[in-house]
Every structure is written in structure tokens, then in C-alpha cells.
Amino acid sequence: MFLQTLVTGLSMGGIYSLMAVGYSLIFSILSFSNFAHGAVIMLSAYIGLALATKAHLGFGLVVTGSVVGAGVLSVLNEKFAYAALRRRRAPSLYLMISAMGCSMFLENMVYATIGSRFYPFPAFFGRQIVTVGGSSLSLLDLFAFIVSIGAIVALHLFITRTKMGIAIRAGVDDMTMCSLMGVNTDRLISLVFFLAGAFAGIAGIFLGIRYFVYPTMGWVTNKAYIAAVIGGLGSLPGAMVGGLILGVLETLISTYVSSVLRDVFSFTVLVALLIYLPNGLMGAETEEKV
């Protein structure tokens, strides 16, 4: 029973991690919280749903389509809502309000066009069960967990080992310096948004399979945001660890205490963390220049 809860928690945590990575990536380079990320995740789930039910594609193609679609959406989101602000060095508050607006726009556009119906994903995994050490674990949970961790490790390798990844890290350190060195910052930022979107795409599919596809499903990303804060906004390993911790804690709470209290608990953790450990578990100590 406990192992089962743990795996469910880890798999939920893996999905949180996927979403948190998107927040962290964007935060690390533009230092603002991209509240529109949730809407991108929601749209990616709809893309996946359309590919699966209308085009009858297999799981691999559905994921690919959703990843590419979400990546493109995320880049468009940046071009449309943030690029102008970024160029005139607007305060991060403005970027955040713009992000809020974007999320409101996208979510309600879906309401207005597709409607508020809850759509189920086709049963890619059925209710297949694997038995490990006497506990029965759902295949979906195991698969979600492994894919999430795999994707994040791949991202980590990309950022630490490839030339493009190193350019991103340089951008994180100092955007102005980067542009002085001849790096095309617009392209760099588009790349970062594409990556964040791609991860949103994977997360959207898993969320959709796990629950349903509906306009406000992006709200779950509030949790992802919490996960990113737990790990330290801007830190990729932090986002992964934060996501897993939150997923496990939440599952434990809803199994052993009360599922109503789960959300209250997450937000209490968030507030407590922000106050006592504002840099999270793995975030760098930020020093405001005075």
C-alpha cells in the first residue's frame, strides 16, 4: 500500500517536475514568473487529444505532435506578449501582468470556442498493472515517472554539454553581456521558450491521460509553480526535486489525512517556504544590486 502511494506520488511529482522545469527555465533567463505556462500546458493537452481522437495517431506521434505544438505556442506567446516589454526593459511586474493576461485570454478562448466539457483521452495504457514486491502499481504511473525523469535528465545534459546549452547558461548569467558578445538574444530566448513549451507538451499529455482535458486544467500548474519554488526558481535540478517532493507529500496527505486538505497544505508549504527559504532548496542566493 505504501509503495503504491509512493509510486503514485512520484509519478504525479514527475509531471509536476516537467511543468516546473518550464517555469524555472524561463525564470532563470528573464527573471519573471510566466503564469501563461499553465495555458500552454492546457493547449498542448488539447492538441494531443485532437491528434489522438481525430487523427487516430499512436502514442508516440501524439506526444511528438503535442511537444512541437506546445513549443511553437510557447514561442509565439513570448513574441506576442513579452518581446516588446523585454526590449524596453520593462519591470518584471509588467511581464507578469502580461503573462496573467495571456493565460486569461487563452483559457477563456478555449471556453468560448471548444467549451467547458471534460474530454477523456483514449486509453493508451488501459488499466494495466505491474506487480512489484506484492504491491500492484499502475503502468501509467511508472511510465510517467520514467519519462519525466528521462526528459529532465536529457535537458540537463543538453544544457551542460552542448554549445547551445552553454549559450543558454551564459544568457542566464548575464543577458546584456551575451548580446554584447554577439549572441542573438532573441533567438536564444525563443529557444528557451521552445524548450519550456516542449516540456509543457509532455506534461499536458500525461495530465490529460491521468485526469481529463478541460479549459482550467492549467490551474494545476499553480502546483508546478510551487514545485519550482520549493526547488529554487531558476534551478533545473531544483525543479525536478521540488516536483517529486511535492508530488509525494501531496499523495501521502490525500491518502492518509484528507484530500480536501491537500491543496491547503500545498499552499501553506509554499508560503512557509517563501518566507523561510526564499531561494528554495537549490536556488542560488540572489543578491539585489544596490
Partner 1 sequence: MDYILNIVLLACINMIAVAGLAIFTGFTGLFSLGHAAFVGIGAYTSGVLTYHWNLPFIWAISAGMAAAGASSLIIGIPTLRAKLRSDYFAIAILGFGEALRVSLENLPWTNGARGLSLDELSGPVWVIGALVICLFLTHNLLISRFGSLFAAVREDPVAAEMAGINLFRTRLLSLVVSAALCGVSGALLAHRLAFIQPVMFTLTQSTQLLASVIAGGMGSISGPMIVAFIFSLLPEALRGLNMWRLPAYGLLLVLIMTYRPQGIMGYQELTDIFRKARKRFK
Partner 2 sequence: MNDSLLEVRDVTRSFGGIRAVDALSFDAERGKITGLIGPNGAGKTTVFNLITAVYRPTSGSIRFEGVDLTRKRPDEIVRCGVARTFQNIRLFKRMSCLENVMTPLLARVACGPLRALFCGPSVRNEKRAVQEKAYSIMEALDIADVADRNAFTLPYGQQRKLEVARALACAPKLLLLDEPAAGMNDAETEELAGTIEKVRRNFDVTIILIEHHISLVMSICTYIVVMDRGALLASGTPREVREDERVVEAYLGRRRTGGKRS
Is residue 93 part of the contact set for partner 2 (CB under 8 A)? no
Q: Minimal distance in Å, beta carbon 166 to partner 2?
A: 21
82: CB partners within 8 A, 6+ apart? 30, 95, 98, 99
> What is the footprint of partner 2 within residues 5-24 (CB under 8 A)?
none
Distance CA 196, CA 179 (A): 21
Task: Indicate which single residue of 41, 81, 152, 207 sits in contact with partner 1 (rule: CB under 8 A).
Answer: 81
Report the residue number, 54 or 287, with the smaller CB distance to partner 2: 287
Total number of residues that touch partner 2 (CB under 8 A): 4
Q: Does residue 99 contact residue 186 with C-beta atoms inside 8 Å?
A: no
Report the residue number, 54 or 289, with the smaller CB distance to partner 2: 289
Is residue 289 part of the contact set for partner 2 (CB under 8 A)? yes
Q: Minimal distance in Å, beta carbon 86 to partner 1?
A: 11
C-alpha dihedral, 122 to 216 to 141 to 258, nearest 10°: -130
CB count within 10 Å of CB 189 equals 22
Length of the chain: 290
Buried b (16+ CB within 10 A) or exposed e, 229-248: bbbbbbbbbbbbbbbbbbbb
Residues of the shown chain interacting with partner 1 in the complex, contacts defined by CB under 8 A: 32-33, 80-81, 84-85, 90, 92-98, 100-109, 111-112, 219, 222, 225-226, 229, 260, 263-264, 266-268, 270-271, 274-276, 278, 288, 290
Binding residues (CB under 8 A) for partner 2: these are 285, 287, 289-290
